[in-house]
Amino acid sequence: MAADTIFAVSSGRPPAAIAVLRISGPDAVAAATRLAGRLPAPRRAGVRALHDPVDNQLLDRALVLVFPGPATATGEDLVELHLHGGRAVVAAVERALAVMEGLRAAEAGEFTRRALAHGRIDLTEAEGLGDLLSAETDAQRRMALANSDGRLRRTVADWSATATRLSAMVEAVLDHADEDDVDASDDVLAMVRREAAALSGAIDDVLAVPPVERLRDGVRVVLAGPPNAGKSTLLNALVGREAAIVSPLAGTTRDVIEIPVTRSGIAWLFLDTAGLRDDTSDPIERIGIDRATGSMATADIVLWLGDGTAPVEAVALHARCDARDDVAPDRIAVSATTGQGLAVLWQVLVDRASALLPKVDDLALNRRQAGHAGTAAAALRRASRQQDPLLLAEELRYGVQAFAALTGMRATEAVLDDLFGRFCIGK
Ligand SMILES: Nc1nc2c(ncn2[C@@H]2O[C@H](COP(=O)(O)OP(=O)(O)O)[C@@H](O)[C@H]2O)c(=O)[nH]1
Ligand SMILES: [Mg+2]
**Does some domain include residue 19?**
yes
Number of domains in the chain: 3
Per-residue pLDDT tens digits for 390-408: 999 999 999 999 999 999 8
**Does some domain include residue 268?**
yes
Tell me: do 280 and 306 sit in the same domain: yes
Enumerate residues 6+ apart whose C-beta is below 8 A from 62: 36, 47, 48, 50, 81, 82, 83, 84, 93
Choosing from 234, 236, 246 the residue with most ligand 1 atoms within 8 A of its CB, the one to mutate for a pocket test is 246
Which alpha helices (H) appear in 211-309, and where do they start and end? 212-217, 231-239, 283-297
**Does some domain include residue 422?**
no
Q: Whose CA is nearest to atom 2 of ligand 1?
A: 320
Is 320 touching ligand 1 by the criterion CB < 6 Å? yes
Tell whether omega for the bond before 70 is within 30 degrees of 0, i.e. cis: yes
Tell me how far apart the alpha carbons of residues 56 and 59 are, in angstroms, rounded to a whole number: 9
Choosing from 223, 228, 280 the residue with most ligand 1 atoms within 8 A of its CB, the one to mutate for a pocket test is 228
Tell me: do 260 and 333 sit in the same domain: yes
Among the three residues 315, 333, 356, which one is the final residue of a domain in this structure?
356
What number of helices (H) and strands (E) belong to the chain? Answer: 14, 12
Tell me: do 183 and 295 sit in the same domain: no
Provide the CATH number for the domain around residue 302: 3.40.50.300
**Does some domain include residue 414?**
no
CA of 172 to the centre of ligand 1 (A): 73
**Does some domain include residue 388?**
yes
Provide the CATH number for the domain around residue 41: 3.30.1360.120
| β strands within 109-160, DSSP E | none
Is 254 touching ligand 1 by the criterion CB < 6 Å? no
Q: Which pTM was predicted? A: 0.83
**Does some domain include residue 44?**
yes
Enumerate residues 6+ apart whose C-beta is below 8 A from 141: 132, 135
Characterize 354-392 residue by residue with b for buried, 16 or more Cβ atoms within 10 angstroms of its Cβ, and e for exposed: eeebbeeebbbbbebbbebbebbbbbbbbbbebeebeeb
Domain around 240: 215-356
Q: Which residues of the chain have pLDDT under 50?
A: 1
Q: What pLDDT sits at residue 84?
A: 97
Provide the CATH number for the domain around residue 395: 1.20.120.430
Is 230 touching ligand 1 by the criterion CB < 6 Å? yes
Is 229 touching ligand 1 by the criterion CB < 6 Å? yes
Contact present, 221 and 314 (Cβ < 8 Å): no
Tell me: do 47 and 164 sit in the same domain: no
Tell me how far apart the alpha carbons of residues 396 and 23 are, in angstroms, rounded to a whole number: 43
**Does some domain include residue 418?**
no
Tell me: do 244 and 257 sit in the same domain: yes
Tell me: do 66 and 103 sit in the same domain: yes
Per-residue pLDDT tens digits for 359-371: 988 999 999 999 9
